[in-house]
């Protein structure tokens, strides 16, 4: 009998930012690997589309519409979810500003989504013992601000660097309960966030040429890394930042 160490059978996994992009793809892939999924997002229509795409009619998947920056929404989410074996936090936003235009308001707005709301959800999940002993937490960071430092990306990069730092502190503290905490740092990935019109097609082609593997990532490229970190195959991995960037940071 063959044993698949990457299987998520019997595991319940919460995925935030699940209404699009990396979060949507991760939720679907978790269900394909046998996991029961709780999908969380702000947009009800897109979240329902993700929920409908989940596999495994024998499992009780759940969907929760939640704005993580809203305290009441967070409390409702925490109180209504089952015990978790995995947490994947994908919600985020991106901006490009030269430093001279990077005002406090812009830092506050980006940090609220990318850092503060993410960390607060993790804090509450841990404090209220919603993550089972031996569970796994995966935070979606970025190579921007951690290994790659492009002009105009300072606000976004700082928020992701702060997230990676917090990940490492949590990995040490949560280890007493055998809860692993890791991050994935992707390069640019073809998601609605990237394709929102902030870059022209020509700029995208020129930027893709910087990648040794010749392309931006796809959501599945990152989702497969998440599966690894959630699974028993990564049972001895904590406090790590897994870079998935097509070679950009070489």
pLDDT mean by block of 10 residues, the chain; 250 residues: 86 97 97 98 97 95 96 95 98 90 96 97 98 98 96 95 98 98 96 68 89 97 98 98 97
* Residue ranges covered by each domain of the chain: 12-244
Which stretch of DSSP H or E encloses residue 220?
helix 219-230
For 12-244, the fitting CATH number among 3.60.21.10, 3.40.640.10, 3.40.50.720, 1.20.120.1760 is 3.40.50.720
- Whether the CB-CB separation of 238 and 175 falls below 8 Å is answered with yes
Percent of the chain that is helix, strand, coil (3-state, to 5): 40, 20, 40
Strand-by-strand arrangement of the 131-140 sheet: 62-65, 36-41, 12-16, 84-89, 131-140, 180-186, 241-244
Residue 240 CB: number of other CB atoms within 10 A? Answer: 16
DSSP state of 88: E
Q: The whole model's pTM is what?
A: 0.95
DSSP letters spanning 14-29:
EEESTTSHHHHHHHHH
For position 1, what pLDDT does the model report? Answer: 45
Q: What is the pLDDT of residue 196?
A: 58
Q: What is the pLDDT of residue 41?
A: 97
Residue 57: the pLDDT is 85
- Distance from C-alpha of 20 to C-alpha of 22, rounded to nearest angstrom: 7
248 Cβ contact list (under 8 Å, min separation 6): 143, 148, 187, 210, 211, 212
CB 92 within 8 A of CB 193: yes
The 3-class SS string of 157-206 reads HHHHHHHHHHHHHHHHHHHHHCCEEEEEEECCECCCCCCCCCCCHHHHHH
> CB of 202 within 8 A of CB of 144?
no
pLDDT of the residue at 145: 95
Q: Please report the beta strands in 4-143, taking only residues with DSSP state E, as ranges in sequence order.
A: 12-16, 36-41, 62-65, 84-89, 131-140
């Amino acid at each position: 009998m063959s044993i698949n160490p990457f299987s998520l059978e019997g595991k319940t996994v919460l995925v935030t930012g699940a209404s699009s992009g990396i979060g949507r793809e991760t939720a679907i892939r978790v269900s394909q690997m046998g996991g029961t999924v709780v999908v969380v997002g702000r947009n009800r229509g897109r979240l329902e589309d993700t929920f409908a795409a989940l596999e495994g009619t024998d499992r009780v998947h759940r969907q929760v519409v939640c704005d993580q920056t809203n305290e009441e929404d967070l409390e409702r989410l925490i109180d209504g979810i089952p015990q978790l074996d995995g947490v994947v936090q994908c919600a985020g936003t991106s901006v490009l500003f030269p430093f001279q235009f990077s005002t406090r308001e812009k830092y506050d707005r980006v940090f609220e989504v990318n850092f503060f709301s993410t960390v607060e959800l993790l804090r509450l999940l841990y404090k209220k013992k919603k993550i089972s002993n031996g569970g796994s937490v995966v935070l979606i960071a970025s190579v921007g601000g951690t290994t790659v430092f492009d002009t105009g990306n300072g606000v976004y990069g700082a928020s992701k660097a702060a997230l990676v730092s917090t990940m490492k502190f949590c990995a040490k503290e949560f280890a007493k309960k055998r809860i692993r905490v890791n991050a994935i740092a992707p390069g640019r990935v073809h998601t609605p966030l990237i394709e929102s019109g902030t870059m022209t097609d020509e700029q995208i082609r020129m930027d893709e040429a910087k990648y040794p593997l010749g392309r931006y990532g796809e959501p599945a490229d990152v989702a497969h890394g998440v599966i690894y970190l959630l699974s028993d195959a990564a049972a001895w991995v904590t406090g790590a930042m897994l870079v998935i960037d097509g070679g950009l940071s070489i």
